[in-house]
A = this chain, B = another copy of it.
Amino acid sequence: MAVTSLRERKKQATRVALQEAALRLALAKGPDNVRVDEIADAAGVSPRTYNNYFPSREHAIVAAVTASRMPALAAGGPLAAAVADAVVGHYTEPGDPAAMLMITTNPGLRACYVDTAAGIEGPLTEAIVSRGVDAKTAEVLAAAIGAAAKVALRRWLKPAGGLMMVSGSLPELIRAALEPLAPALDATAG
């Protein structure tokens, strides 16, 4: 938040307005009954502008309940453990339970939520590099971690039994999914 030119603040404001409008409307009318136009309208902005902020209808809704930044990696200790802690940290947010239920229930939102995992790859790459790992190696590892996170999210969202029930603790699932990658991560230790 270092630079806060007025312009930047206004942009952030409309972004937030769009997110909140999207979430509110989706919760009120059901996610499939919300049109982009309504969201834009509720945020006091033109429909075209909506897509200057979000690449799809679902993104605004999901963004409203998604952590914006990854926690930093712990400085020392095994890389695998530090990564697991960071990823778990990122996905351990309170977040409106009703909103989460809606996301887990709706296919489009589910997919969009899972794709969130791609967003951690950039920061992860940097973080891994800053621990002395070669940049190209770090890129691959971050991509692998992102893929594992997606698997974990998919497992978490998978309808268990007949009912749409969250199938286990997300932190546990994330740690379990990252486990197979641990040898690769710890092999980078100097």
Give the B-binding residues of A (Cβ under 8 A): 136-137, 139-141, 143-144, 146-148, 150-151, 176-184, 186-188
A151 to B121, CA, bound (A): 12
The dominant DSSP class at the A interface is helix
The CB with the most chain B CB atoms within 10 A, among A144, A150, A179, A187, is that of: A144
Q: Are A181 and B148 in contact (CB under 8 A)?
A: no
Q: How many subunits of this chain does the assembly comprise?
A: 2
**Quick one: closest B residue to A139, CB to CB?**
B151
Residues from chain B with Cβ under 8 Å of A141 in the complex: 180
Residues from chain B with Cβ under 8 Å of A183 in the complex: 183-184, 186-187
Q: Are A143 and B139 in contact (CB under 8 A)?
A: no
Min C-beta distance of A110 to chain B, whole Å: 17
Knowing A136-B176, A184-B180, A187-B183, say if A147 contacts B151 (CB, 8 Å): no
**Quick one: closest B residue to A146, CB to CB?**
B147
Knowing A183-B184, A184-B182, A184-B183, say if A177 contacts B140 (CB, 8 Å): yes
**Quick one: closest B residue to A144, CB to CB?**
B144
Residues from chain B with Cβ under 8 Å of A137 in the complex: 179-180
Q: Are B184 and A140 in contact (CB under 8 A)?
A: no
Min C-beta distance of A73 to chain B, whole Å: 17
